[in-house]
Amino acid sequence: MKKVIMGNHALSYGAMLSRAQVIAAYPITPQTQVVELLSEMCADGTLNAKFIKVESEHSAMAACLGASLAGARTFTATSAQGLALMHEMLHWAAGGRMPVVMGNINRAMAPGWSIWADQNDSLSERDTGWIQFYCASNQEVLDTVIQAYKVSEKLMIPSMIVLDAFTLSHTYEVVEIPDQSLVDQYLPPFNPPWRLTPDDPHAFGGLTSPDHYMELRYKLQKDMEKVPALVEETGKEYEKMFGRYLGQVEEYLCDDAEFIFVTSGTAGSTARVAVDELRQRGIKAGNLRIRLFRPFPFEKVRSILSRVPRVAVLDRNISYGHHGIFYQEVKSAMYGQPSQPLIFGFIAGLGGRDITRDSFREIADYALSRDRVEEEIVWIGVKK
């Protein structure tokens, strides 16, 4: 069935089709429609779930974790300040191996107050041990929720599904809503290897001495390293059943490209238009949209970028005192490789400033006219 829905509702439909059993959430602009629709679904019985209307995001994640440890499939959604308030519990989720799936609407951090898109909220949670998917369409948002449960529950690692404020969260697109019976075939009920039950009492998360702690973290990393292959595997399985492939990255005309944009989120869609324009001008451009950011898809990125002489990484974020975060990550992935492209870093679109075809034109003009990296942050559209 096809429906015209907003990005936020794509998250709600994804949670519904995945048969989330416990939802705990706190409203924040621009996430509110996610939980409003889920509230309605729970109220009218479309979704058989317990919805805990908590008093903060911190409690939202805490409640999800309790439910997850009790053996229930859990869902929540938040944004920016809400995500930052959850920070402690994000570590708890990954450290405790509780496979919560969460939507995060990328919104700039205050102050000054901003409700508009940038990625500093989710990227600040880069090192919490969560899998992170960045989406570029409402269809992808819905599909990713279902895929994320499959990946997360297999490895017992939580997943964050990230979408840009307004450019995706509030934009209406045609979305294919898959049949429930097919989704049920793809995603079996959550059956964790351990749970809180008086039938088999265990203590979870207790005091862990230096004799044991490091091994727990080693295991988390080892399981994280399994994610890229599992994303490929579950993505191909998804394609077989639903006709849409969900991979680690989305390549657009990368095969013969001599110049590649590296993008994420909705900017990745705009980049495709920019690539078409460049191709019309005779420049063999391509776009590599990173969908799986954590764990970082090293192999994919290396195999594609080592073929091209020039790369322009677009960041809608900044690590103050360093560079754009995707730029750091791409450079780190290419370091020590036998064939290294020139990698330029661009920062644009902070606090919801539009990233347009013109932004990419400017980026391309800059990168194509230089033979070495002169500055590590090239600001696009900033009033200096």
Partner 1 sequence: MSKEKKMTTTITREEFMSPGHLACQGCGASLAMRLALKGLGQRTIVCIPACCWAVIDGPFPYSSLDVPIYHCAFETAASSASGVKAGLEILGDNETAVLAWAGDGGTYDIGLQALSGAAERNDDIIYACYDNEAYMNTGIQRSSATPFGAWTTTTPVKHYKKERKKDIIGIMAAHGIPYIATASVAYPEDMVKKFKKAREIRGTRFILIFAPCPAGWKSRPEDTIKLARLAVQTGYFPLIEIEKGEKWTLNLKLKERKPIAEYLKLQGRFRHLSEEEIAAIQQEVDERWAKTLQKCSL
**Residues within the interface to partner 1 (CB under 8 A):** 21-22, 24, 48-50, 52-56, 58-60, 62-72, 74, 88-89, 92, 196-198, 200-209, 212
Report in angstroms how near the CB of residue 54 gets to partner 1 at its nearest: 6
Report in angstroms how near the CB of residue 193 gets to partner 1 at its nearest: 15
Name the residue among 24, 9, 17, 95 with its Cα closest to residue 55. 24
Q: Which residue lies nearer to partner 1 by CB, 204 or 218?
A: 204
Q: Which residue lies nearer to partner 1 by CB, 49 or 141?
A: 49
Q: Which residue lies nearer to partner 1 by CB, 72 or 278?
A: 72
Q: Which residue lies nearer to partner 1 by CB, 88 or 375?
A: 88
Name the residue among 275, 211, 191 with its Cα closest to residue 288. 275
CA 38/CA 41 separation, integer angstroms:
5
Q: Which residue lies nearer to partner 1 by CB, 181 or 191?
A: 191
Which value, to the nearest 10 degrees, does the dihedral of the CA atoms of residues 337, 338, 339, 341 take?
40
| Torsions phi, psi for 364 (to 5 deg) | -65, -45
Q: Which residue lies nearer to partner 1 by CB, 86 or 231?
A: 86
∠ at Cα 57 (317, 126), nearest 5°?
35
Residue 347 falls in which region: left (phi positive, over 0), alpha (psi -120 to 50) or beta: beta
Q: Which residue lies nearer to partner 1 by CB, 70 or 377?
A: 70
Report in angstroms how near the CB of residue 103 gets to partner 1 at its nearest: 18
Q: Which residue lies nearer to partner 1 by CB, 213 or 379?
A: 213
Report in angstroms how near the CB of residue 262 gets to partner 1 at its nearest: 36
Query: If you count them, how many residues does the chain have?
Result: 384
CA 101/CA 73 separation, integer angstroms:
8
Report in angstroms how near the CB of residue 109 gets to partner 1 at its nearest: 22
Contacts of 151 (CB under 8 A, 6+ apart): 131, 157, 159, 227, 230, 231, 234
Q: Which residue lies nearer to partner 1 by CB, 72 or 142?
A: 72
User: Between helices 267-280 and 357-368, what is the axis angle to 10°?
Assistant: 60
Residue whose tokens read 């919560």? 100
Name the residue among 150, 159, 157 with its Cα closest to residue 221. 157
Q: ω before 111 within 30° of 0 (cis)?
A: yes
Q: Are 125 and 90 in contact (CB under 8 A)?
A: yes
Report in angstroms how near the CB of residue 153 gets to partner 1 at its nearest: 14
CA 36/CA 255 separation, integer angstroms:
43
Q: Are 292 and 248 in contact (CB under 8 A)?
A: yes
Report in angstroms how near the CB of residue 42 gets to partner 1 at its nearest: 11
* CB atoms near residue 184 (< 10 Å): 13
Q: Are 263 and 271 in contact (CB under 8 A)?
A: yes
Report in angstroms how near the CB of residue 178 gets to partner 1 at its nearest: 23
Report in angstroms how near the CB of residue 48 gets to partner 1 at its nearest: 8
